Amino acid sequence: MKSIRIFAPATIANLSCGFDVLGCCLDTIGDEMTLTLTASNEIRITKITGAQLPLETTKNVAGVAVNALVAALNQPVGVDIEIHKRIKAGSGIGSSAASSAGAVWAVNHLLGNPFTPHELISFAMEGERLASGNAHADNVAPALLGGFTFVRSYAPLDVLKLPSPKELVATVIHPQIEIKTADARAIIKQNVALKKAITQWGNLGGFISGLFTEDYNLISRSLDDVIIEPLRSILIPEFETVKEVALSTGALGCGISGSGPSIFTLNRGYQTAQQVAQAIKNVYQHTGIDFEIHISKINTQGIKTLSS
Amino acid sequence: MKSIRIFAPATIANLSCGFDVLGCCLDTIGDEMTLTLTASNEIRITKITGAQLPLETTKNVAGVAVNALVAALNQPVGVDIEIHKRIKAGSGIGSSAASSAGAVWAVNHLLGNPFTPHELISFAMEGERLASGNAHADNVAPALLGGFTFVRSYAPLDVLKLPSPKELVATVIHPQIEIKTADARAIIKQNVALKKAITQWGNLGGFISGLFTEDYNLISRSLDDVIIEPLRSILIPEFETVKEVALSTGALGCGISGSGPSIFTLNRGYQTAQQVAQAIKNVYQHTGIDFEIHISKINTQGIKTLSS
C-alpha cells in the first residue's frame, strides 16, 4: 500500500511579542511518523513509540486531526498511523502540533494533495483543541507552512507566512518539568492595560518589519513581552537568570516557548547560538533539573518527507 | 536673511488597527509656513493666518517644538515663523502636528540639517504634548518622514518608516464639529480584554505585512479596530453609515482619523477613492453639518520645500 515516512517538526509559538499569533518552525527536533493508506476505510493509530499516548483515534490528536480532514473530504479514507515521538508532551515546543500537523500533511500527500497547506491548518487545529481545550494555530501553522507564520485572524482563519532572515538560529532549552498548556493559560489575566497592549503591538509590528527588512537589531529590540511573560515566567525555574545570561552572551532575544516550560532564544548566526546554548547549559546544570538543549536554524519548509 | 517656505502636510494617525503607533502622510491638504533666520536670538511667531492661535512662543505648538530643538542644539538661534493654517484645529488630521513638525523641519533645514528627520520627531512631539497633554508621535512621525510610519516604542523612541504601496489613495471627510484630542482620549477605557488585544495585534501585523507585500486584499482585511472605534465612533455623527457606504463603494477600509471627528478611507486607485468620496458626500449632505472632503495619494516625502 501507499506509504510515507515524515519528519514532523517542533515549533516555537508566541515568540515573546506575538501571543497566540506568531510561531516559527525548527529543524533539528521533531517526531517521525509513518502513514499508510489501507483498504479499511478506518483511521487507525497502529503504533506509538517514545510516549504514553492513547491509540484510540478520537483521543489522539493525530487521529482527531485526520478525522477532521476526512470529514471535509467527504469520502471514506483508510489510513494506518505510526507515531514515533521525539518531542516530549508538555514541553512547549509544539509536541501535539507536530502530531496533528504531521498526520494531516501526510494523509493529504497520500491522497494527492486535495487540500492546500493553508487549508490543512484548520484540520490540525482540531488536534490542538483536543490537547489544550483551545484550537490555537500558532504551532500547527509553522509546522505546516514552515518558517515564521502569523495568525492575522482566527475567525475567519487567516494565516500568513512571513520571511525568514537567513542568519536566524534558535536555541531551545527544555527543562524536564511539565506545565500543562491549560494551566499555563489559566495563569493569564483576561484583561490587560491598554498601555501594555500598545507596547506589545508596537513590538509585534517591529518584529514583523524586522523579518521583512532582515534587520536583526530591530528584531532584537522587538523581542519583548510585557503581558504574558511576567505572569508565566514564575512557573519556570531560573527563567530570569537564563534570560539575563542569554542576552549578555549575544542572543537577540529570549522568552518562553509557547506556554513553557521551554525557553527559546533567537540568535544571529550559528556560532552565537552555540555560545548562548552553552551559557544557558551552565546555568541549568546547577539546578538539578534534567534538561535538553536544541540548536536549530529556522526550518522554512516545515514538514519533510523522509521516504515514500 | 535666509528663509524657507514649506508645505506641512496633514496626517492620518491610528489607521484603525494601529492606535498610537501607525500614521500616514497626506499630499493635498496641509499648512504653509515661512521661516526666516534672524539675528535676534529669539524664536518669534510673527504671523498666523487661517486660525485663531496664540503668537506667544511658549503657547504655540510650533514655538514649543522649535524651542525643544534649540535647547538640544545648545546654541542661540533667531527665527521668525509665519503660519498659514489650512488644516483646522481639532479636525483629527494632525493640525498641531503639521505646525510642530513643519517648524522643526524648516529650522533644521535653515541651520544646515544638524539633526536627522528621525531626531526631529522628539522635538515635534513637544508640540503635541502642548496640544493634547500627550507627546504622541503618530502624526508628527509621518509628517516628518513621509509615507506610513510606525512607532515601535515610545521609551526609548523608536520610529520606523514602512513601505507605501503605490496604488493607495486616502479620502478624508472632516465634519466641522470639534472633538478635542483630550476628550477623545478620556472616552477610552484603560483596560482591554486580552482577546480583543489579540484581535487588534493580529490586524496590525496583517496591515504591516500587507504594506510590505503590496497585498491590497490583506490591507483591507486588516483595517479593523475592535478597541477604540466602538467607543469613539459615537462622538461622530453618521459614522456607521459613512463606513457602510464607503466599504460597499469599494474602500479597502474606513475608520476614525486620529481622535476624530474626521473619518478616513484607504482605497486602491484614484478612481475608487473619488467614488468613495462622492458616496460619503451624499451621506453627509443630509446631516446639515458642514464638512470638507479631501482625496490624497500617500505623500511619501513628508514636508516639502515650496521656495527658499
The predicted-structure confidence for B161-211, as pLDDT tens digits, reads as follows 999 999 999 999 999 997 776 777 788 999 999 999 999 999 999 999 999
B135 inside 8 A of chain A by CB: no
Query: Which residue in A has a C-alpha nearest to residue B161's C-alpha?
Result: A209
Q: Measuring CA to CA, how many Å separate B157 from each of B97, B135, B138?
A: 17, 11, 12
Q: Given an 8 Å threshold on Cβ–Cβ distance, is B202 in contact with A153?
A: yes
Provide the grid cell at A112: 494527492
Which of A32, A126, A128, A229 is an active site residue? A128
B131 CA to chain A: closest CA distance, Å?
A: 20
pLDDT value at A34 more than 90: yes
Mutate to test the interface with A, among B209, B225, B232 (most CBs of A within 10 A): B209
Chain B within 8 Å of A286 (Cβ-Cβ)?
A: no
B13 Cβ under 8 Å from any chain A Cβ: no
Same structural domain for residues B109 and B132?
yes
A38 and A79 together in one domain: yes
Task: Select the residue of A150, A191, A199 nearest B191 (Cβ to Cβ).
Answer: A191
Is residue B79 a contact partner of residue B43, using CB atoms and an 8 Å limit?
yes
Closest CA to B27 of B142, B105, B119: B142
Same domain as A213, residue A142: no
What digits encode the pLDDT tens for the residues B235-250?
999 999 999 999 999 9
* Average per-residue pLDDT for chain A: 96
**Residue B187 touches partner A, C-beta closer than 8 Å:** no
What pLDDT was estimated at residue A128?
A: 95
Q: Closest to A222 (Cβ–Cβ): which among B152, B191, B209?
A: B152
Contact A191 B194 (CB under 8 A): yes
> Active-site residue A181, yes or no?
yes
Does residue B234 share a domain with residue B93?
A: no
Q: Which of A162, A188, A192 sits opposite B191 (nearest CB)?
A: A192
Average pLDDT over residues B261-288: 97
A209 part of contact set with chain B, CB < 8 Å: yes
Question: CA torsion B267→B268→B270→B274, rounded to 10°?
Answer: -40
Which ipTM score applies to this complex? 0.95
Nearest CA in chain B to A228: B194
Q: Between A185 and A146, where is the model more confident?
A: A146
Residues B11 and B138 in one domain: yes
Cβ contact A153–B206 (<8 Å): yes
Nearest to A201 among B162, B204, B218 (CB): B204
Q: How far is A273 from chain B (nearest CA, A)?
A: 26
Separation CA B239–CA B223 (nearest Å): 16
Residue B181: the pLDDT is: 66
CB contact under 8 Å between A152 and B227, yes or no, is no
Pairing of strands A22-38, A3-13: antiparallel
Residues B11 and B146 in one domain: yes
One domain, residues A127 and A142 = yes
What's the pLDDT band for A181 if we cut at 50, 70, 90? low
pLDDT (average), residues A158-170: 98
Integer CA distances (angstroms), B164 to B34, B69, B169, B214, B225, in order: 29, 29, 10, 8, 21
What sign for the dihedral angle of Cα A280, A285, A289, A293? positive
Contacts of A22 in chain B (CB under 8 A): 205
Tens-place pLDDT, residues B52-110: 999 999 999 999 999 999 999 989 999 999 999 999 988 999 999 999 999 999 999 99
Residues B144 and B188 in one domain: no
List chain A residues with CB under 8 Å of B201.
Answer: 18, 21, 197, 200-201, 204
Is-catalytic flag, A128? yes
B270 at A interface, C-beta within 8 A:
no
**In the block, residue with C-alpha cell 497566540:** A20
Q: What CA–CA distance (Å, rounded) separates B181 from B178?
A: 9
Are residues B71 and B202 both part of a single domain? no
Q: How many folded domains does chain A comprise?
A: 2
Q: Specify the pLDDT at position A178.
A: 78
Give the pLDDT mean for B18-42. Answer: 97
Judging contacts by C-beta atoms under 8 Å, the chain A residues touching residue B152 are 202-203, 205-206, 209, 218, 221-222
Chain A contact present for B75, CB below 8 A = no
Write the pLDDT tens digit of every residue in A47-99: 999 999 999 999 999 999 999 999 999 899 999 999 999 999 889 999 999 99
Nearest residue to B101 via CA among B23, B176, B154, B20: B23
Let me know whether A183 and A136 are in one domain. no
- The whole-number pLDDT of residue A142 equals 98
Question: pLDDT grade, residue A220 (50/70/90)?
Answer: very high
Residues A20 and A143 placed together within one structural domain of the fold: yes
A194·B191 Cβ contact <8 A? yes
CA distance B92 to B102: 17
* Domain of residue A200, residue span: 168-297
From the candidates A181, A249, A265, A272, give the one annotated as an active-site residue: A181
State yes or no: pLDDT of A1 exceeds 70. yes
Pick from A270, A299, A265, A267: nearest CA to A173:
A265
Q: Are B274 and B265 in contact (CB under 8 A)?
A: no
Find the closest chain B residue to A209 by CA distance: B208
- Residue A134's pLDDT band, with cuts at 50, 70 and 90, is confident
CATH number at residue B79: 3.30.230.10
Say whether both B151 and B217 belong to one domain: no
- How many angstroms separate the CA of residue B241 from the nearest CA in chain A? 24
User: Does A56 contact B at CB distance below 8 Å?
Assistant: no
The closest alpha carbon to A40, from A97, A89, A92, A79, belongs to A79
Q: Decide if pLDDT at A182 tops 80.
A: no
